[in-house]
Structure 1
């Protein structure tokens, strides 16, 4: 009998729970289904929505028990990209906070992973689709080959920045949600 892989959402956020960039407040509409999108009355613009990633045992740094296998972190989003007039880009960022360290740490913001709906293997659609990260910067995460990727919440803060881009009136970009979870080996 083959073993089934089990996935679970270790951190998740619905589109309407994000913080809209101050300059983009008039561009975004929060929809009844929990999504966020660019207003239909605007024919061409871009807008940002940010999501604070909070600590969770499934994504925090930990040392596994001897012989325990763990998977790496996976970054995904559920989006609507209906073609050439729309695009959605999500960036998982690590921001230095310096907590728990006696050593002076330079203030940095590092891109840990990116998702671009235009680079997805999923065809454009008016329906919601799940898009996976196309790029990971493994050095942004804590851990190693034995411990797997993890997020250090003691010294760093984490944020997902989603950019909704509407190139023309045909575009209808939207974000339903974002997730970071641990893939099971």
Structure 2
């Protein structure tokens, strides 16, 4: 039995779908409000520093309108059923969140490299937990921390030595 075009256009959507469109419009409005505080003096090639925030807020507003239109005309009709577990993995989220929050809290105390390595180690632990794998013992934690250092150190040196961007370091030498 084929549905009629009118039955297909009937509102058949989840409440979260409409919230996504409205949320996109709200974020676009907040970005646009923030863009009003940026000076519009034309810089290189006649483009001022406020140009990109206005472009992003306009694009996000268009996306929000399109999302709301899609919901009002029948919902996300071609959306696949979500994969994965029916509920979020709060333990995994806690590990990843702890990594990000500790990175933000400790970056000026222990430096960029060590705080990013800690963030990496905790995030990897959370991702393992989300896959149902063992999160690891002390040996695995040390491996994760060393891997985080191996990733963060070149990034730190690239930004501080090559690009002259000041990132918090552990020592005054600028190498750690």
TM-score band, normalised by shorter chain = under 0.3
Q: Which structure's relative contact order is higher, taking Cα pairs within 8 Å and 6+ residues apart? A: 1
TM-score after normalising by structure 2: 0.23
| Structure that is richer in strand per residue | 1
Select the structure of larger CA radius of gyration: 2
| Structure that is richer in helix per residue | 2
